[in-house]
Amino acid sequence: MAAVDSFHLLYREIARSCNCYVETLALVGALYTASKAVVVARNCYQLLRLHFIPRLARNRDLVGTYGEWAVIYGSSDTLTISYAEELARHGVNIILISPDIRGLTSTGKGLSEVYGVEAILVEADFCHGQSVCKPIQDAIRDKDVGFVVNSLDASLNLRQGFTDLSEGRLWESLNRSITAASLVTRLALPGMVERRRGAVVNISSWACNQPVPNKAALSASTAYLDHFSRALHHEFGHRGIFVQSLLPCRVASQVPDEGRWAMANSWLVPPAQVYAQHAVSTLGVSHRTTGYWPHSLQLELVQWMPAWMWMFGSRMLGSTA
């Protein structure tokens, strides 16, 4: 009996001495839970502010806010064409720049007929050196250019080992992506700074957040455009220039073989037109975004994913592609 009484007495003494530690741990747990709740609430608010609230204002005056003309490079890509159509729907005149404009004649004519805007086609292949800048300079001279939209060369998205790329193809892809985006922006930016208004949108890919095996050139190019945009934002943001890094995930028009992807043309993989509507609505709201709220959820997941898991998934997808 004495032993039992001694045990209960010992237990009470231990519990009394540890009570302060228990309360401290409970307080730490409560603070941790509260901090996570604040983060979740903040992310939900940002999602609403960026992707839903701006879409309530359907009649935005993009011409009055940024300018009358948009210079769009990479116009052979379906996503870029859809972005141009969305700008034209808001009354913005379009200058389409592409290494080969033969396939854009009907596009330019369609923009003029459907939306009543002017559409100018400029052929400029940046693989040929600095001389291609002159036709672009002539096209934008004396125009109120309010938008510069650049996109990556579509050939970079093909899954292929880096050493399997020929020197010529690598030269073309990088010049039509990195060099082109830099020079087109350089040509149009001085006038925008002088007018103290305008928007620069660089469309790359969410691949800039994690390296992608067998797409080394794509990973590097997307990272360049992303950092290029962020640097321009800090350099020219106070001069009235809105710079946006647009990081889309998979868009239905970009799926090489839609039969292989069960989720193609779904809410996770939207049509290019749907994506463009969402992306344009984020102008003036976010400087770095996926442009489409389901893509933002995917990007958040990728950023929290361990590197080994990302690499494993990339290799698995590569082996089945």
Please state which architecture CATH assigns to domain 58-320: 3-Layer(aba) Sandwich (3.40)
Bridge partners of 72? 96, 149
Whole-model pTM? 0.80
What's the CA gap between 132 and 292, in Å, rounded?
34
pLDDT in tens, 204-226: 887 767 777 778 888 888 899 99
More confident residue, 69 or 300: 69
Ranges of each domain in the chain: 58-320
The arithmetic mean of pLDDT across residues 75-97, rounded, is: 90
Residue 30 has pLDDT above 80, yes or no: yes
How high is the pLDDT of residue 97?
A: 93
- Least confident window among 11-20, 129-138, 221-230: 11-20
Q: How much is the pLDDT for 58? A: 65
> 148 - beta bridge partners?
71, 200
Residue 235 has pLDDT above 60, yes or no: yes
Cβ atoms within 10 Å, residue 312: 11
Residue 242: is its pLDDT beyond 80?
Answer: yes
The least confident of 94-98, 135-139, 153-157 is 153-157
Q: Which residues pair with 93 in a beta bridge?
A: 69
Beta bridge partners, 71, equal 95, 148
* Whether residue 258 has pLDDT greater than 50: no
Measured in degrees and rounded to the nearest 5, phi and psi for residue 284 equal 80, 0
For 267-312, the pLDDT digits (tens) are 788 888 999 999 999 999 899 998 888 888 887 777 777 777 777 7
Which tens digits make up the pLDDT trace of 31-49? 888 887 887 787 777 767 6
Check: CB of residue 222 under 8 Å from CB of residue 207. yes
Q: Is the pLDDT of residue 133 over 60?
A: yes
Higher per-residue pLDDT: 186 or 170:
186
Q: Would the pLDDT of 6 be above 90?
A: no
DSSP secondary structure string for all residues of 69-100: EEEEE-TTSHHHHHHHHHHHHTT-EEEEEES-
pLDDT tier, 1 (very low <50, low <70, confident <90, very high otherwise): very low
Residue 89 has pLDDT above 70, yes or no: yes
Tens-place pLDDT, residues 100-112: 888 788 888 999 9
The residue among 277, 271, 247 whose CA lies nearest residue 258 is 271
More confident residue, 152 or 260: 152
Dihedral-angle region of residue 273 (phi above 0 means left; psi in -120 to 50 means alpha; beta otherwise): alpha
